[in-house]
Amino acid sequence: MGVGKKKTFFLFLKILLFIYIFFVFSKAHFCYYVEKKSKMIFSNWTTENGLIQNSVRSILKSKEGYLLLGTFGGICKFDGKEFSSLAILKEGEFFKGSRVAKLFIDSKDRLWVATENKKIFIFEKEKIKIIDWTNEGYDVVNVNDIVEIEDGTICVGTDGGLFFLKDEKIINVIMDRLPSISVKSLYKTKNGELLIGTTKGLAILKDRKIEIFPLIKYQILTFFEDEDGTIYAGTEAYLIKIRGKSVQYIKSKQILSIAKDKKGNFWIGSFKGLYIFQNNSLNLFEGFFDYVEKKDVKITSLLVDEENNLWVGSDGDGLFKISYPLVEFYGKEDGIYGETVASVFADYDGSIIFSSYYPDGVIYRLKDGKIEKSKWNNKVITSIFRTKDKTFWIGTWNSGLIKLKNGKIEIYNSENGLPCNDINALFEDSKGNLWVGTQKGVAVLKNERIEKIYDWKNGLLQGVVNSVSEDRGGNIWVGTSNGINLVKGEKIISITEKDGLPYENVRGIYEDSEGTVWIAAYGGGLTRFKEGKFFNFSTKDGLKSDFLSYIVEDNNKSLYISSNDTIMKIRIQDLNDYADGKTSFLKIGFYGKGEGMLSSECNGRNQPSLTVGKDGKIWFATIKGIVGINPNITFPPPSTPIIEYVKVNNKMADYKNENPTFGKGKIDISFKYTAPIFLSNDYARFIYKLEGYDNDWKNGGKDRIAIYTGLKPKDYRLLVSVFDSKGNKCASDAVFPFVVKPYFYQTNLFFIFLFIVSLSLIVLIFKYRTYALRKRALLLEEKVKENTAVLLMKTEELNEVNSKIKRVNEYLTALFEKMKTAAVVVNNDLNVVFVNEPFKKIFNLDESITNTNLLKVLPIREKTNEELVKNLKNYPNSLNRLLLQIKMKNDETFFSEIEIFTHPSNPELKIIFFYELTEIINKEMKNKSFLGNYFILGRNPKMLQIAKQIEVLSKVDTTVLIRGETGVGKEVIAKTIHSLSERKEKPFVVINCAGLTETLLASQLFGHKKGSFTGAASDQKGLFAAANGGTVFLDEIGDMPLDGQKVLLRVLQEKEILKVGETKPEKIDVRFLAATNRDLEKLSSEGKFRLDLFYRIKVAEINVFPLRERKEDIVFYVNYFLEEFKKYNKNIIGFSKEAMDFLLQYDWPGNIRELRNVVEHCVINSNSFAITIENLPHYLRNEIFSKNKIEVDDRKIYKDKRELLLEAIKESGGNITRVCEILNVSRMTVYRWMKRYNIDKNEIDKTK
């Protein structure tokens, strides 16, 4: 082939391709058609599902809505979820295991049960009556049928004739005048005639006369009357259609039952299966046999209920339900390749366009129930869309974006501008721009050209783009796997979990008709975004799944939400009411396999994957085809719930009598309830409310039992309501009133009696008191006379005392003036009452400062200021001595120790003495280590006494034993003694006696000579020698081995050591300080510590007090350690009041060391200027909580939530964080309770 011919050939191929594409996407030219098939929903129950026996001979619907089933194993009732045997009160009278032939309910709501043991049982409420034919003298083999005619007369067809019963008594028997004595079927027509089917033909009872219908000679097993009066009779070989005198025979197998559904289809149950009668033709219903997978199912009974469900009873195969689908669906049987639908949208002509993934891309058009399709080889189609200008767009996986217009193809990919070639979403905004969501960003096409790219480089969140939508303000919402991008003009706003978004993997975003934005997250449920706030709905709130994809609104203001497990329908108003706390439960409608879907899992990976057609029908892409839901279809409300039993104190109670009364005093009660619902019963949701106990409805969910404990004597009323799978509420609630009886002491009569007795006692007491008071009045009169004289004498004495006090005050004033010590007298407001001359001289005060606040006079630091005020306010329950550092006007620092006393003549006044320590402090400040260690002792008088001991002992060279618990600062005291002694320039060696090993003890303490033992490679100086001239601190001396104690004793006595490997001892000059937290006296008595060593080291003794005995030092230490930990560069000014209260309540077994670690822990973990309770270690918080925590569970017995919440608020002083800790609930729960129980800010302020 030449070059020219090749070009012509390829041009011809291109033309053919364009023609193919044009016909593929033109309005009515897809490749071929697939007709929609008839589809039904099948369900089956057997003994494996709770059915008592698999042969179902008769089916009825009870007045309450139960399905009553007569089987070869007795009777059971079915509520759509559970089977239960009919309740029998008298044992031995019924027959669990008997073979039921027929069930019938008469006009008095009595249940008639015919069995194969020649008996009829009549159930009336809780009573059972029995008709035994043999006792009446009749030899009846089987009862075949029962009907009711005029005046409540019951007709019973048997193998021994036709019986008439009135008030359960036989009033007539017809054995002749019938085609046969064996009556197999009975039927009462609309005009009052009784059809009698026998083994040899048909008879009619009319106006008490029997007529033989001569045209039928076959055994008639069942009847059915159509709306137009046509009678259908089922026989052994024919379905006979009777219209007046006209008879038509239709060949069939033995017919046992006939029913007609609301769509006009006749269903025929026969000995050889289930048939359907349409257009005067009787055909085997193949769909049923495909479901049961066999063709010889014997159908014994049929019933069509109010919901148009066909109930099928079989002989040995259990109970079946056949329903019409509530959705329109198309799947594999309709020609959809691969089944998994990727994308779906409603086209401009009313057709539905959708695509599937595998094995190759296929695009389908659904129009008038017919499907046309077009294959795209080697293309994985992910999204399809048609813009307003009728341009068709195809998003693919790895092949970019395809545009089809006027028979031409144009491809957009990463080479010509797309962020990547994997397309997830297609969306057209109000300006006609096409937004293309990909795996790596969004492209915006204007006039079919790429105008802009949004990706992580210019502000878009990194992640897969799942959807694009537009709000009424023209803003574009982009849902990604890592959050939401809001495109407002040129500005991109990112919304993630940091901004309050509950879950970041966002699939769909939808703005409803009221302007509220709804967000579907895959794994995070549904989120409402309203007025800048997020509210999340999840499975805990009633959703079937948290893996949601896309959202759409119907014309009834309900949202339809696709998920991986169902399609949910929820009214927008219900969602808002739940989010705003106006209701405690959600009414949700569900669509799944029970409604006809081939799969409950919707495909939500691509946009668009749901669409609304021109007819308002909503279409969803699923993993097994597409599903269409008509939102305008209404469903009847579910049946009224039924109380099935009541248990009082865990025992069955008689609850069916009028106004039932239970127990005495407090009782525990439980109610079992149900509702006969036969449409997706698993999705039925119950709510209940006990009036007289509950303030609001409780959400029972799927559970069908309500339990209450400790009900007090009172009148109650239980209300039970149910919502079906479509969110419809029952028309009326179940109402069960009952009374809990009181004991006598709980009755009004008892309280009246108590009131009378109390009133009588009060009167008697009043009379007695009146008499006693009169008597006392006389005595008091005498006493007054005596006391008046005494009072005059005392007045003179008081005047004398006041005179003395005045002289004392004058003396004290003169004394203060003559004292060299500075003194000031202040009142409770810290205002100066008096100052002496030394005070004025020290502080350079020329003018009078009387009535001036002391804090304005003393130039001291703010922290010292607070400490001074605290000690003055709390005296005498505080320290009466305090060290002050005062900055004078000439910038000199003045140190003073103050001492506080109560004024001897006026308790309202305080005397403060100022002792000048400037010279002493300045001298000691030269030694920095002393200043730090002196102040670290604290401010407790006991510790100040230890400070004086330290000062005294530092001047002598004696051995000192320091005793105290772990962490109290024994080593700090030892170092302080050393640093204040003349040895301060020499070594300070610490020896941990507990760590000395017996084998190396001598070598460690004394050293060794080279070669003295294996491994001694060189001379080694011991710890004692290393400390020569200085101080040895023997820490944990109580844990020293006995061998070491012996050696140590010699060193203490002789002041010489002997190196290992040498023979000549060496003199040392060392001072010994020892410390222990052990009881050395007890260890000595047990032989674990040498007594002579104990007396040797106990020359002087310092006992350090544990921190729990001097908690006033905790604040001091906390501030000291906060200064130390400023190295962490945290701007912390201190502990909050609540946190400091926790520190003061804790017992500090680890003393100062533990406190220092806690402060360091808090500083490291705090991100605020103040350390709060949350920064404290868990073990410390739990210790304090265990002391203070309210036992909420005990309170629930006798307090409702509002009282409990108010009590917690009162106890916490209105602190919400503390309320959460007391009640052990979250902050959100506390605020929700406050809103529910109308507790506002004013009530909280009252508790403060």
pLDDT, tens only, 145-170: 999 988 889 999 988 888 888 888 88
Q: Are 980 and 1033 in contact (CB under 8 A)?
A: no
pLDDT higher for 627 or 1215? 627
d(CA 377, CA 1047): 97
What's the rounded mean pLDDT across residues 355-368?
A: 83
pLDDT higher for 639 or 2? 639
Which of 438-452, 681-695, 1184-1198 has the weakest average pLDDT?
1184-1198
Give every strand in the sheet of 220-225, ordered side by side.
220-225, 231-235, 238-243, 246-251
pLDDT at residue 538 is higher than 90: yes
pLDDT of residue 585: 84
In terms of Cα–Cα distance, which of 675, 661, 668, 722 is closest to 693?
A: 668
Residue 449: burial class (beta carbons within 10 Å; 0-12, 13-18, 19+): exposed
pLDDT at residue 880 is higher than 80: no
3-state secondary structure of 427: strand
pLDDT at residue 1070 is higher than 70: yes
pLDDT of residue 793: 66
883 pLDDT band, cuts 50/70/90, is low
pLDDT of residue 877: 55
pLDDT of residue 208: 81
Q: Among residues of the chain, what percentage have pLDDT more than 90?
A: 33
Q: Among residues of the chain, what percentage have pLDDT more than 70?
A: 85
35 pLDDT band, cuts 50/70/90, is very low
Quote the tokens at residue 725: 């799978």
Please report the domains of the chain, with CATH numbers, ordered by start residue.
329-629 (2.130.10.10), 644-746 (2.60.40.10), 819-921 (3.30.450.20), 928-1105 (3.40.50.300), 1112-1247 (1.10.8.60)
d(CA 648, CA 670): 7
Backbone angles phi, psi at 418, to 5 degrees: -70, 150
Q: Are 1025 and 1069 in contact (CB under 8 A)?
A: no
d(CA 996, CA 879): 43
d(CA 1185, CA 1047): 50
pLDDT of residue 805: 65
Which of 339-348, 783-792, 1123-1132 has the weakest average pLDDT?
783-792
pLDDT higher for 1039 or 1227? 1039
pLDDT of residue 32: 30
What's the rounded mean pLDDT across residues 261-280?
A: 90
pLDDT at residue 1174 is higher than 60: yes
pLDDT of residue 889: 60
What's the rounded mean pLDDT across residues 217-232?
A: 91
Alpha helices in 168-308 (DSSP H): 286-292
28 pLDDT band, cuts 50/70/90, is very low
d(CA 1063, CA 837): 72
The set of residues, in sequence order, having a beta carbon less than 8 Å from that of 175 and lying 6+ positions away, is: 160, 161, 162, 181
The set of residues, in sequence order, having a beta carbon less than 8 Å from that of 1112 and lying 6+ positions away, is: 878, 879, 939, 940
935 pLDDT band, cuts 50/70/90, is very low
Q: Are 655 and 738 in contact (CB under 8 A)?
A: yes
pLDDT of residue 785: 65
pLDDT at residue 383 is higher than 90: yes
Q: What's the pTM?
A: 0.59
pLDDT of residue 588: 92
pLDDT of residue 467: 94
Taken in order 842, 848, 851, 853, the sign of the CA dihedral is negative
pLDDT of residue 18: 46
H-helix or E-strand spanning residue 795:
helix 748-818
What's the rounded mean pLDDT across residues 499-516?
A: 93
Which of 88-97, 571-580, 931-940, 1115-1124 has the weakest average pLDDT?
88-97
Residue-averaged pLDDT of the chain: 83
Q: Which residue in this structure is represented by tokens 């248990």?
A: 647
Backbone angles phi, psi at 28, to 5 degrees: -135, 30
Give every strand in the sheet of 83-85, ordered side by side.
56-61, 67-71, 74-78, 83-85
pLDDT of residue 621: 93
pLDDT at residue 1009 is higher than 80: no
Q: Are 339 and 625 in contact (CB under 8 A)?
A: yes
